[in-house]
Amino acid sequence: MKITVLAGGVGGARFVRGVREEAARRWPAGADGPAGAEPAADGTAASSAEITVVVNTGDDLWLSGVRLMPDFDSLLYALAGVNDAERGWGRAGETERVAAELREWGVGWPWFTLGDLDLGTHLARTSWLRDGLTPSEVAERLQRRWRLGVRLIPATDTEVDTHVRIDPAHPDAEGRDELHFQEWWTRHRAAIPALGFEQRDLAVALAAPGVEAAIVDADVVLLAPSNPVVSIGTILSIPGLREALAATSAPVVGVSPIIGGRVVRGMADACLSAIGVETDAAAVARHYGARRAADVDPSATGLLDGWLLDETDAAAVPGLIADGFAAASAPLWMRDLDTSAALAGAAIDLALAARDGV
Ligand code: FO1
């Protein structure tokens, strides 16, 4: 079983941990794959399923002389079991001595903390980039340190850092009409209305090696409950990836990041309103679109075979089915590994049912 997940950082990491756990339970290593595979670094049993995660790179940035890839690192740390689970990003047991020094020197952003352990990752990454490795080659090296039980691939090797257009007359804008996504998100908590999102080289970006094949050759493709605009939206905007999703014979199923009209975490509602999409589980499904719509309208560009909503939003299921989605409801809150695995199982079941036309 080959499962490919498109994912952002914190929500993506919780979901992928669930997918990995569910895969270990359903398809234990040795059942139809190489026997004797070792468990992951955090003790998760090995699976014969191959899980590939295409990771958003729109949150990435250069800061204090180093390259940060926050979503990649959130997945890396969470799957290795070395993450700060409470805070959602960064390493467990982190210290901030270097960050305090950088603040004294006036280097970087005083409101954006690079922990000491985390800085080790950024220094290693930047050093390898300076040696001429591509970001996806660097990502592969970083994954050699811990047995993750999944393969993480940055969606693209092209720098597509997201910038947010804002009104320079806004009281907190300091006269600027654009902020890096991380400044808008972490410093302003997305409270300055976004007029739009820009990623300079997105139109000429190339999918990283292996990304298109991971989508086309998959048995199941899952969209994590990540930010539909700046995380999943970035991945989908990379030239060739919508085409790969249209071409795959695998069922494509998304999990709603919205429960009962509210975002599960983060400020995705501020991103959705900027692109004119309601903060509503069914509205996000329709934003991605139904792949079956192309059966009746060849110009339709819908991506999804199925959409999983929370039980709170179950009333939207019949309308989505009428619009060509396989839709179902399940508990979507990922409180711990068991609830994440149950959610992943519900998404996989919906994908298999969509494939079999159930
Ligand atoms: N989020 C914060 O709210 N404050 C921070 O100081 C911060 C630092 C940071 C450093 C490295 C890293 O990989 C992530 C970091 N984050 C921080 C999280 C990150 O800004 C966002 O939550 C994600 O990019 C959105 O998915």
Task: Dump pLDDT digits (tens) for 344-358.
Answer: 999 999 999 999 887
Does ligand 1 lie within 6 Å of residue 9's CB atom? yes
User: What pLDDT band is residue 92 in, cutting at 50, 70 and 90?
Assistant: very high
Phi-psi region of 276 (alpha: psi -120 to 50; beta: other; left: phi over 0): left
Which atom of ligand 1 is the closest one to the Cα of 109?
6
Q: Evaluate whether 19 touches 1 at the Cβ level (below 8 Å).
A: no
Identify the helix (H) or strand (E) that includes residue 24: helix 10-26
Does ligand 1 lie within 6 Å of residue 8's CB atom? yes
End-to-end CA distance of the chain: 19
**DSSP assignment string, 59-80:** T-EEETTEEE-HHHHHHHHHHH
**What tokens appear for 213 in the block?**
């094949």
Closest CA to 216 of 52, 28, 40, 26: 52
Residue 97 has what pLDDT?
98
CA dist list (Å): 156 to 37, 200, 275: 30, 13, 23
Domain coordinates in residue numbering, the chain: 2-157+203-355, 162-199
* Tokens 């070792």 -> residue: 38
Q: What is the per-residue pLDDT across 328-342, written as a single tens digit (0 to 9) for each?
A: 999 999 999 999 999
> How many other CB atoms are found less than 10 A from the CB of residue 191?
11
Alpha-carbon span 160 to 204, nearest angstrom: 10
Domain 2-157+203-355 carries which CATH code? 3.40.50.10680
- Determine the distance from the C-alpha atom of residue 172 to the mean position of all C-alpha atoms in its chain, rounded to a whole number: 29
What backbone torsions phi and psi does residue 181 show, to the nearest 5 degrees? -50, -40
* Tokens 């940055």 -> residue: 154
Q: Evaluate whether 178 touches 165 at the Cβ level (below 8 Å).
A: yes
Residue 32 has what pLDDT?
59
pTM of the entire predicted model: 0.96
> How many other CB atoms are found less than 10 A from the CB of residue 248?
21
Does ligand 1 lie within 6 Å of residue 68's CB atom? yes
**What tokens appear for 29 in the block?**
């290593």
User: What pLDDT band is residue 35 in, cutting at 50, 70 and 90?
Assistant: low
**What tokens appear for 121 in the block?**
């990752």
Residue 59 has what pLDDT?
97
Residue 93 carries which side chain, given as an amino acid letter? G
Residue 77 has what pLDDT?
98
Does ligand 1 lie within 6 Å of residue 114's CB atom? yes
Residue 265 has what pLDDT?
82
**CA of 75 relative to ligand 1 center, distance in Å:** 13
Q: What is the per-residue pLDDT across 216-274, written as a single tens digit (0 to 9) for each?
A: 999 999 999 999 999 999 999 999 999 999 999 999 999 999 999 999 888 999 999 99
∠ CA(258), CA(302), CA(316), 5° rounding? 40
Residue 266 has what pLDDT?
84
**CA of 89 relative to ligand 1 center, distance in Å:** 6
**CA of 69 relative to ligand 1 center, distance in Å:** 10
Alpha-carbon span 132 to 136, nearest angstrom: 12
Residue 52 has what pLDDT?
98
Residue bearing the bigger pLDDT, 292 or 183: 183
User: What pLDDT band is residue 30 in, cutting at 50, 70 and 90?
Assistant: confident
Neighbour-count burial of 93, counting CB atoms closer than 10 A to its CB (0-12 exposed, 13-18 middle, 19+ buried): exposed
pLDDT at 188 over 60: yes
CA dist list (Å): 288 to 120, 156, 187, 302: 37, 20, 29, 6
- Determine the distance from the C-alpha atom of residue 121 to the mean position of all C-alpha atoms in its chain, rounded to a whole number: 19
Q: Evaluate whether 150 touches 16 at the Cβ level (below 8 Å).
A: yes
What backbone torsions phi and psi does residue 58 show, to the nearest 5 degrees? -70, -20
Q: Indicate the average pLDDT of the chain.
A: 95
Does ligand 1 lie within 6 Å of residue 154's CB atom? no
3-state secondary structure of 45: coil
Which atom of ligand 1 is the closest one to the Cα of 69?
13
∠ CA(111), CA(112), CA(115), 5° rounding? 125
pLDDT at 33 over 60: no
Q: What percent of the chain has pLDDT over 90?
A: 92
3-state secondary structure of 234: helix
Q: Evaluate whether 250 touches 352 at the Cβ level (below 8 Å).
A: no
pLDDT at 34 over 80: no
Evaluated on CA atoms 285, 288, 289, 291, the torsion sign reads negative
Q: What is the per-residue pLDDT across 118-132, written as a single tens digit (0 to 9) for each?
A: 999 999 999 999 999
**CA of 70 relative to ligand 1 center, distance in Å:** 6
Section 265-287 average pLDDT: 95
Does ligand 1 lie within 6 Å of residue 112's CB atom? yes
Which atom of ligand 1 is the closest one to the Cα of 10?
26
User: What pLDDT band is residue 200 in, cutting at 50, 70 and 90?
Assistant: confident
Does ligand 1 lie within 6 Å of residue 186's CB atom? yes
Residue 299 has what pLDDT?
78
**CA of 218 relative to ligand 1 center, distance in Å:** 31
Alpha-carbon span 285 to 228, nearest angstrom: 10
